């Protein structure tokens, strides 16, 4: 791995931080992780590096801060060219960005609606979530990856969020595989990549994290 001055302000359970780590792994860039204690108080460095949102991930490259995970992954792709995460043709790039934006707007929030609710509201949340999965399954089609033959931008953005799928399934009492088998196969395929496997935490641990999160939020 190349040695660069790259520091990530991180939270292990954040799929948005996982995106940045997978992108850095794909590019073979060494980085230092600095864990933020989001409940115990944010570091001065986080507050000054991301004054607008005060959120992780923040990537510090040669001391200069970058915020918002999809923008950071784009920066990583432009800064370290190989292997490319976006296609070279402007139309295909725009299509990839459309699906990145779709996942950003929909997927994690829809999953949050599952574990934050109960009863009828939760049933609606599960239905909405499954609709999004089906949409993504349609985009994936019979390709190995959203990027086609190679694992790319949309794959990174989406696979990180799948680390929470077990928690969504357990709270919502459904199975992703039953509704989106091709997407499930894509998750397994992507998890076989070393760059992904070493970043994504055990989904059971994420499930425990969500249980604790609910307790802390007084939602039992």
- Footprint on this chain of its own copies (rule: CB under 8 A): 52, 61, 64, 66-68, 71-72, 74-75, 78-79, 90-91, 93-94, 97-98, 101-102, 135
**Which of 39, 53 has the CB closer to its own copies?**
53
**Which of 103, 114 has the CB closer to its own copies?**
103
**Which of 43, 135 has the CB closer to its own copies?**
135
Query: Which structure tokens are listed for 100?
Result: 């990145």
Question: What DSSP character marks residue 201?
Answer: P
Q: How large is the angle between the packed helices 153-162 and 15-27, nearest 10 degrees?
A: 140
Closest approach, Cβ 76 to its own copies, in A, equals 9
**Which of 91, 192 has the CB closer to its own copies?**
91
Closest approach, Cβ 86 to its own copies, in A, equals 10
Closest approach, Cβ 88 to its own copies, in A, equals 10
Kindly list the distances between the CA atom of residue 87 and the CA atoms of 37, 77, 92, 150, 212, in Å, as whole numbers in the listed order.
Answer: 36, 11, 6, 10, 40
Closest approach, Cβ 95 to its own copies, in A, equals 8
- Helix extents (H) in 142-202: 153-162, 165-172, 176-179, 181-191, 194-197
Q: How many residues does the chain have?
A: 220
């Amino acid at each position: 791995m190349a040695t660069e001055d790259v520091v990530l302000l991180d939270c292990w359970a954040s799929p948005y931080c996982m995106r940045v780590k997978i992108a850095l792994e794909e590019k073979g860039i060494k980085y230092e992780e600095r864990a933020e204690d989001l409940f115990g108080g944010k570091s001065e460095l986080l507050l000054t590096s991301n004054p607008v949102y005060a959120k992780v991930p923040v990537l510090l490259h040669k001391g200069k801060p970058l915020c918002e995970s999809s923008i950071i992954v784009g920066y990583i792709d432009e800064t370290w060219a190989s292997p490319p995460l976006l296609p070279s043709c402007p139309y295909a790039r725009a299509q990839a960005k459309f699906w990145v934006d779709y996942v950003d707007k929909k997927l994690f929030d829809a999953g949050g609606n599952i574990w934050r609710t109960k009863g009828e509201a939760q049933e609606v949340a599960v239905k909405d979530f499954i609709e999004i999965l089906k949409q993504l399954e349609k985009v994936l089609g019979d390709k190995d990856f959203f990027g086609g033959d190679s694992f790319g931008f949309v794959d990174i953005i989406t696979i990180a969020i799948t680390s929470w799928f077990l928690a969504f399934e357990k709270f919502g009492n459904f199975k992703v595989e039953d509704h989106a088998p091709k997407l499930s196969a894509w998750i397994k395929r992507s998890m076989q990549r070393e760059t992904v496997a070493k970043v994504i935490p055990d989904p059971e641990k994420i499930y425990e994290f969500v249980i604790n999160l609910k307790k802390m939020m007084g939602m039992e």
